[in-house]
Amino acid sequence: MRDTLVGTGSLIRLGLRRDRWLLPVWILAFAVMAGSTATASADLFPDLASRVEAARRLNGTASVVALFGRVYDPTSIGALSMIKYTAFMTAVLAVLVVVVMVRHTRADEESGRLELLGGGRLGRNAPLTAALTICVGASLLLGLLSGAALVAGGLPVAGSFAFGLGWAATGLAFGAVAGVTAQIASTSRSAIGMSSMIIAVTYVLRAVGDLAEPGPSFLSWLSPIGWNQQVRAYAGDRWWVLLLPLALFAVLVPVAFALRARRDLGAGLREERPGPARGSLAGVWDLAVRLQDRVLAAWLVAFVLFGAVIGSLVSGVEDFFGSANAQDLIKQLGGGQALTDAFLSAEITILGILAAVFGIAAVNHLRAEETAGHAESLLSTTTTRTRWATSHVVVALAGVALLMLLGGLSIGAGAALSLHDGGQVARVTAVSVAQVPGVWVMCSIALAVFGWLPRLTPGVWGLYVAFVALGEFGVLWHAPQWLTDLSPFQHAPRLPLDSGTVTAVVALTATAAVVAALGYVGWRRRDLTA
């Protein structure tokens, strides 16, 4: 047994060296985010009445409950201020953990780096052990630092550490999940895809479970993200719930090692089948579609499902505001239609923010193809740089448009069914499609970075997170208006559509075109790099 672990220490050091920026940046980002929100919340909800009112509003809005979960103690400022972090940011944390795990296991195997090391004294289980160790260490550090930041932000000590350790335990659980998928899948892409699918499913499970009345149904208890909510930090601090993710970790880690023992280095558990001896790919267009079509298909399915769920929730929106005061407010705002529109607009904006993830990833594919050396082969043929880049940019832009079209249709159909109003399909689809130019701006920013600063390609994600965070938390942070306005998502059209929509669509399209053109100029004059 000891032999299979030889070299683990060296691999851990190597991994920490490779992640010397990645890990500290995201650990600090989470801690700072949590701490600053805690600080800001004290000003936002100065007295008990304001908290109870806010918690009642949040718990009464189905879309909020579906997206973020419930506030389990309306009197607790901690439970209130952390609502966006218990489920939503936990899912983001899970994705990061998965990326780190796969990066040090399957990705290294795929690239042959582990083979290079395996020639030396390196045990079979060393890479997985090292990756898990890094993962456990990073999760614990993140949890403790976040707990400390929350205490510094003025929240109760016990709740703060219950919250931080909740993050840590969830990180462990999803690290173990990725440890297993990295053994099953034979490429890092499919390992990350498989893990992300699991994260998405657990997120939806708890969303459906949380919507049940009263309180969470058993579905929430089937989800590690649900467990993190059920720790109920600042609202009872149920420490024993932390045992659930730890138990999952304890079960999955031996499974991962057992799977590793059953396969060869570099192989997945699924056997390779022979493929066609003749190619039917006629050119770079076909190739770009071939490289991205499965990912796009998965996104489309997710969008249609998400849309259907959101659409069907619409009829309940008015009921959530049952009190007389709220009804008055609704009338002032323009009646039930306005409330429904506000709800639909908010959901469609989220759809656009999600579609941008696909768009940016599709454009960033250019850089991945360049560093992999594939671009070198293609650009040594009659394929021009412009043509090759365009092949991926078109997949990105068309994919985003298709996502928003189908997502919009799906929400519209759901809304039409639940409101018995066929007219909803057209207007909801229209506003969904109107989000497209804003998302295209993000795609063209990615292209510009690829053209001018290719080594900073991952930074596009930082910019994306910053834009989204400005939209979500800008008010909390007292961000100046001009800064918030930089985000294309700030200018996303909302229902009802009017002449302002047209102006926004035209302006965003023009911006996307100019930024993309700039990107092409840079790309056509720069060296191919790695």
- Contact status, residue 185 vs residue 268, Cβ threshold 8 Å: yes
- Contact status, residue 228 vs residue 165, Cβ threshold 8 Å: no
Give the nearest distance from C-beta 447 to another protein in angstroms: 19
Provide the residue type at 305 as one letter.
L
Query: Could you tell me which stretch among 118-126, 193-201, 299-307, 372-380 binds another protein (CB under 8 A)?
Result: 372-380
CA-based R_g, the chain, Å: 24
Provide the mask over 78-117, with x wherever binding to another protein is found by CB under 8 A and - wherever it is not: --------------------------------x--x----
Provide the residue type at 36 as one letter.
S
Query: Could you tell me which stretch among 144-152, 287-295, 420-428, 435-443 binds another protein (CB under 8 A)?
Result: 287-295
- The answer to whether 271 contacts another protein (rule: CB under 8 A) is no
Of 9, 159, 157, 143, the C-alpha closest to 89 is: 143
Query: Could you tell me which stretch among 202-210, 296-304, 373-381, 511-519 binds another protein (CB under 8 A)?
Result: 373-381
Give the nearest distance from C-beta 199 to another protein in angstroms: 24
- The answer to whether 274 contacts another protein (rule: CB under 8 A) is yes
Question: Distance between CA atoms of 226 and 377, rounded to whole angstroms?
Answer: 47
Return the half-sphere exposure (C-beta side, CA atoms, 13 A cut-off) of residue 167.
32
- The answer to whether 263 contacts another protein (rule: CB under 8 A) is no
Q: By CB under 8 A, name the one of 284, 401, 446, 470 that touches another protein.
A: 284
- The answer to whether 380 contacts another protein (rule: CB under 8 A) is yes
Helices and strands in the chain: count of H runs, count of E runs: 25, 0
Number of residues that bind another protein (CB under 8 A): 39
Q: Which is nearer to another protein, 254 or 266 (by Cβ)?
A: 266
Question: Distance between CA atoms of 214 and 267, rounded to whole angstroms?
Answer: 48
Question: Distance between CA atoms of 382 and 367, rounded to whole angstroms?
Answer: 20
Q: By CB under 8 A, name the one of 323, 327, 384, 503 that touches another protein.
A: 384
Of 367, 347, 324, the C-alpha closest to 432 is: 347
- The answer to whether 383 contacts another protein (rule: CB under 8 A) is yes
- The answer to whether 119 contacts another protein (rule: CB under 8 A) is no
- The answer to whether 56 contacts another protein (rule: CB under 8 A) is no
- Phi/psi for 386 (5° steps) reads -60, -45
What angle, 0 to 180 degrees and rounded to 10, lies between the N-to-C axes of helices 324-333 and 335-371? Answer: 70
3-state secondary structure of 471: helix
Q: By CB under 8 A, name the one of 280, 325, 332, 481 that touches another protein.
A: 280
- The answer to whether 24 contacts another protein (rule: CB under 8 A) is no
Handedness of CA 38, 39, 40, 44 (dihedral sign): positive
- The answer to whether 202 contacts another protein (rule: CB under 8 A) is no
Query: Could you tell me which stretch among 129-137, 313-321, 370-378, 405-413 binds another protein (CB under 8 A)?
Result: 370-378
3-state secondary structure of 73: coil
Q: How far is CA 358 from CA 147, 393, 432, 460, in A?
A: 33, 12, 16, 13
Query: Could you tell me which stretch among 36-44, 350-358, 375-383, 423-431 binds another protein (CB under 8 A)?
Result: 375-383
Structure tokens at 171: 């990180």
Q: Cα torsion for 520, 521, 523, 524, to the nearest 10°?
A: 110
Q: Cα torsion for 158, 159, 164, 167, to the nearest 10°?
A: 130
Of 450, 477, 482, 445, the C-alpha closest to 464 is: 445
Q: By CB under 8 A, name the one of 1, 49, 277, 324 that touches another protein.
A: 277
Query: Could you tell me which stretch among 69-77, 144-152, 353-361, 521-529 binds another protein (CB under 8 A)?
Result: 521-529
Give the nearest distance from C-beta 367 to another protein in angstroms: 12
Give the nearest distance from C-beta 37 to another protein in angstroms: 33
Query: Could you tell me which stretch among 239-247, 356-364, 427-435, 519-527 binds another protein (CB under 8 A)?
Result: 519-527
- The answer to whether 121 contacts another protein (rule: CB under 8 A) is no
Of 193, 171, 163, the C-alpha closest to 23 is: 171
Give the nearest distance from C-beta 120 to another protein in angstroms: 17
Q: Which is nearer to another protein, 58 or 379 (by Cβ)?
A: 379
Q: What angle do CA 405, 416, 418 make, to 5 degrees?
A: 125
Q: Which is nearer to another protein, 76 or 391 (by Cβ)?
A: 391
Q: By CB under 8 A, name the one of 75, 323, 381, 503 that touches another protein.
A: 381
Query: Could you tell me which stretch among 80-88, 91-99, 157-165, 282-290 binds another protein (CB under 8 A)?
Result: 282-290
- The answer to whether 275 contacts another protein (rule: CB under 8 A) is yes
Give the nearest distance from C-beta 380 to another protein in angstroms: 4
Question: Distance between CA atoms of 323 and 325, rounded to whole angstroms?
Answer: 5
Q: By CB under 8 A, name the one of 32, 466, 517, 530 that touches another protein.
A: 530
Burial class (CB in 10 A: 0-12, 13-18, 19+), 56: middle
Give the nearest distance from C-beta 281 to another protein in angstroms: 5
Question: Distance between CA atoms of 169 and 77, rounded to whole angstroms?
Answer: 23
Q: Which is nearer to another protein, 331 or 455 (by Cβ)?
A: 455
Question: Distance between CA atoms of 408 and 403, rounded to whole angstroms?
Answer: 8
Q: Which is nearer to another protein, 57 or 387 (by Cβ)?
A: 387
Please, which of residues 151-190 interact with another protein by CB under 8 A? 186-187
Residues that bind another protein (CB under 8 A): 18, 110, 113, 186-187, 272, 274-284, 286-287, 290-291, 372-374, 376-385, 525-528, 530
